[in-house]
Amino acid sequence: MKNGLSVPQGAALTLGAMLGTGVISLPALAAGVAGPASLVAWAGLVLLSIPLATTFAALGARHPDGGGVATYARLAFGERASTMVGWAFYATIPVGAPAAAGFAGAYVADATGGGAGTALATTVAIIAVCAVMNWFDLRVSGTAQLVIAGSVALLLAVAVVVALPHAQPGNLTPFAPHGWGAVGSAAALLVWAFAGWEILGSLSAEYRHPSRDIPRATAIAVAAVGVLYLGVAFATVAVLGPTPGPAPLSDLLVLGFGEHARPVTTVVAVLLTVGAINVYFAGGSRMGAALARDGALPGWLAAEPGRTPRRSLALITVVALGTTAVLAATHQSTDAILLMATATFSLLYVVGTAAALRLLPRWGAAWWCAAVSLVAALGLLVMTGAHMTGPVVAALGGLAWTVWRRRRARATAAVAAPVTAPAGDPEPGCLAGSSS
């Protein structure tokens, strides 16, 4: 893209992908699972983010392409692996978007007393806004993302700063009331909050200078995510105690500014959701176009280089709205979808880091980061358990597509090939040795 993403815009997009709505509720959920020891899980995942982000930044800088993880899989393991992981990711984005937008919808409905109708309208509006922002230009959505990320970071930082004077050392004891094994359970729960590094690859080709700007933008995002996550998590445990409410961020703001600050949490929830879905729509639409370019999806989804992949974006939007309608009509919980999305992210981390071990210079710093990340990603993948069913089914669909496309290509080539008889053989239709 001519005059593409700047470092601040890239950092804001990455930060938006990371700072999803999970930061509003996950600190309380993790504290409920592991108590104050949940801080160990937060710190561990923040530390894990450093080599993981370094790995994907190095891959994006060396191989900038809209296919992202699918492109890395193709370069390292071949077409089938690329198609399978690409289908798993591409299918997860529009299905997971309504579940993520539903968080903000629930906050708006609760704040206004509007009920299920308000929540549904908010969900649809968020999906539509993100689609419109991406329809025009990534620079438009990138600039909007810069404003959103800055506002969210400021609000989160203010919530932590005004709440910390109310911290009580007694809230940190006993430190591990449910045993140290609960830290692992809390970490599995928190994976949702740390999903986002994988989308770096699908946006890598949009930077002005990928080899220079991607590492810089990633470093800014890693630092900001680490500080904000650890700050909110510590304040939740130290200030609100062992049994924080379902919306700890709102409670922290109330401690600092009074009850009139509670609606601010709704604003934060909406901004966080728009920021996250905006990035995934941007990266997902480009991945779909790249998969179509490589034959892993129907060719009509492809886009000319440097152009917004609008057909791919339209497909994602339509599927997302359709999923929203199905969830609303059947009154289904979004928990299963969120866990399926987490499983997909874990799978992408395994494939991406494994590909990095083949594609990055061996024994270099980025290669070692990939090695460490692969071990951790395998552990996360194991913990997802049966929730891998969704991405596995999508991946098998990609494999079936690859097999069908190859057979069709062979059949087409066989029909198009001219039929010629070898020299000296009787002409077709004549019996050898027959006489006139």
What digits encode the pLDDT tens for the residues 44-57?
888 888 998 999 99
H helix intervals, 63-165:
69-77, 79-112, 115-136, 138-163
141 compared with 414, residue with greater pLDDT: 414
430 domain-assigned: no
Q: What is the pLDDT of residue 307?
A: 81
Answer yes or no: is pLDDT of 77 > 80: yes
Angular region, 179: left φ>0, alpha ψ -120 to 50, beta rest? left
pLDDT digits (tens, 9 = 90+) for 121-161: 999 999 999 999 888 876 666 777 888 888 888 888 888 99
Q: Are 142 and 13 in contact (CB under 8 A)?
A: yes
Q: Which residue, among 150, 147, 145, has the nearest Cα to 5 in the 3D structure?
A: 145
DSSP state of 272: H
Q: Under DSSP, is residue 207 helix (H, G, I), strand (E, B) or coil? A: strand
How many C-beta atoms lie closer than 10 Å to residue 135's C-beta?
16
Q: Give CA separation, 209 vs 11, 206, 217, 364, in Å.
A: 14, 9, 11, 22
3-state helix, strand, coil in the chain (%, to 5): 80, 0, 20
Q: What is the mean pLDDT of the chain?
A: 84
Answer yes or no: is pLDDT of 429 > 50: no
What whole-number distance in Å separates Cα of residue 418 and Cα of residue 37?
72
pLDDT category at 419 given cuts 50, 70, 90 is low
Written as six digits, the tokens of 28 are 């309380």
258 domain-assigned: yes
Written as six digits, the tokens of 400 are 């079936």
Answer yes or no: is pLDDT of 85 > 80: yes
How many C-beta atoms lie closer than 10 Å to residue 304's C-beta?
9
422 domain-assigned: no
Q: Which residues, in sequence order, are CB contacts of 180 under 8 Å at separation 6+?
A: 37
319: domain CATH number is 1.20.1740.10
Q: Are 66 and 287 in contact (CB under 8 A)?
A: yes
311 domain-assigned: yes
172 domain-assigned: yes
376 domain-assigned: yes
pTM to 2 decimal places: 0.82
Q: What is the mean pLDDT of residues 2-7?
A: 73
82 domain-assigned: yes
Q: Residue 373's domain spans which residues?
A: 7-412
Q: What is the pLDDT of residue 432?
A: 42
Count structural domains, the chain: 1
312 compared with 14, residue with greater pLDDT: 312
Q: Give CA separation, 40 vs 44, 170, 245, 313, in Å.
A: 6, 17, 20, 39
417 domain-assigned: no
What whole-number distance in Å separates Cα of residue 69 and Cα of residue 342?
16
Written as six digits, the tokens of 168 are 């009580």
